[in-house]
Amino acid sequence: MKFSANLGFLYTDLPLPEAVHAAKADGFDALECHFPYDTPPADLKTALKTTGLRMLGMNTWPGDRSAGDFGLAALVGRECEARAEIERAFAYAAAAGIEAVHVMAGRTDGGAAAENCFRTNLDHACDLAEKQGITVLIEPINTRDVAGYHLSGTAHAAQIIDDLDRPELKIMFDCYHMQIMQGNLAHSIEKLLSKIGHIQIAAVPDRGEPDIGELDYAWLLRHISHIGYQGYIGAEYRPRTTTRDGLGWITKMR
C-alpha cells in the first residue's frame, strides 16, 4: 500500500518545500496539499523534482474562511469569483506539476440553483483539466464538521459524475468524512471504485492518526487493495502530538 502525506495537516511547522523533503525522509511515497498558493510554484516543483515525489492534489481556494466560506463552486451569486479561483488553481497545478485539483463546493441551502451552479463550475474545471491532463476531484464532506456543505454523500457525488459524463471528474473518498455520514465503507468503496480518484484516511472520531477509533484501517486497506484499488492512500489527519512522533502507524499498515 502506498501512502501520501497531506501537507495541509502534516509538517505544518515547515515551509512547503521543506515539508516535501521531510515527508520523503520519513518514507512517504507521494504528497498532497491543501492551499499551496503562498509558495511559488517553481519552488514547489524544484522540491518535487529533487525528492522524486509526486504531488497528487491540491484544493481550490475556499474563500473567506473567517466569514464561513468553505469553498465557492456551488455558491449562487459568486460564480465569477469561483471561476477565477478554479482557473487560478489549475494554473498553479500546471506550473508546479500537481496532478489533481479538488474543486470545493462550499456551504449552500442544498437547492437546485446551487446544484446547477456547482455542475456548471465543474464542467468548466473539466474543460481546463482536459487541456492540461489534470484530474478534477469532488469530495463529500461531513456536515458535522462543516455544516451546510453542499456535497456530503457519495450517492450525490456519483450522480454528478454520471450526469456530467466527464472522464476527468472523480471522487475523493475521505474515509473519515464518509464514516461519519454513512458508514459501510468497504461496500461503498467497492461499489464506487471506478469513480474514485483518491482515498484519504484519518481516525474517527478525533481525526488523528489512523491507528485507533471506530475504523479498523488495517483490515479496510487490505480490502481496498484486494478489490483492485491501485492508487495512493492519503494521510489527511491532524497529528495528536507532532507529525514524526505519530508515524508508527505506517509500518503497521504496510
| 34/30 Cα distance (integer angstroms) | 14
Q: What is the pLDDT of residue 100?
A: 98
DSSP bridge pairs for 138: 171
CATH superfamily of 2-253: Divalent-metal-dependent TIM barrel enzymes (3.20.20.150)
% of the chain at pLDDT higher than 90:
98
Q: C-alpha 37: how far from its chain's center?
A: 16
Q: Mean pLDDT over all residues of the chain? A: 98
How confident is the model over 129-155, as pLDDT tens digits? 999 999 999 999 999 999 999 999 999
- pTM for this structure? 0.97
DSSP assignment, residue 71? B
Give pLDDT, residue 184.
97
* Confidence (pLDDT) at 216: 97
Query: Residue 254: what pLDDT?
Result: 85
C-beta of residue 100 within 8 angstroms of C-beta of residue 135: yes
Burial of 66 (0-12, 13-18, 19+ CB in 10 A): exposed
Helix (H) or strand (E) holding 172: strand 169-174
Give the pLDDT band of residue 5 (cuts 50, 70, 90): very high
Q: What is the pLDDT of residue 59?
A: 99
From the list 115, 139, 168, 209, the catalytic residue is 139
Percent of the chain with pLDDT strictly greater than 70: 100
pLDDT, mean of residues 168-187: 98
How high is the pLDDT of residue 250? Answer: 95
* Number of Cβ within a 10 Å radius of residue 42: 10
Looking at residue 252, its pLDDT comes to: 87
pLDDT at 228: 97
What pLDDT digit, counting tens, does each position of 181-235 carry? Answer: 999 999 999 999 999 999 999 999 999 999 999 999 999 999 999 999 999 999 9
State yes or no: is 139 an active-site residue. Answer: yes
What was the pLDDT predicted at 21?
A: 98
Which pLDDT tens digit goes with each residue over 92-129? 999 999 999 999 999 999 999 999 999 999 999 999 99
Q: Looking at the DSSP assignment, which residues form a beta bridge with residue 20?
A: none
For residue 102, give the 3-state DSSP assignment. Answer: strand
Which one-letter DSSP state was computed for residue 138? E
pLDDT for res 238: 98
b/e per residue 144-177 (b: at least 16 CB within 10 A): eebeebbbbbbebbbebbeebebebbbbbbbbbb
Is the pLDDT score of 50 beyond 90? yes
Which pLDDT value is given to residue 8?
Answer: 98
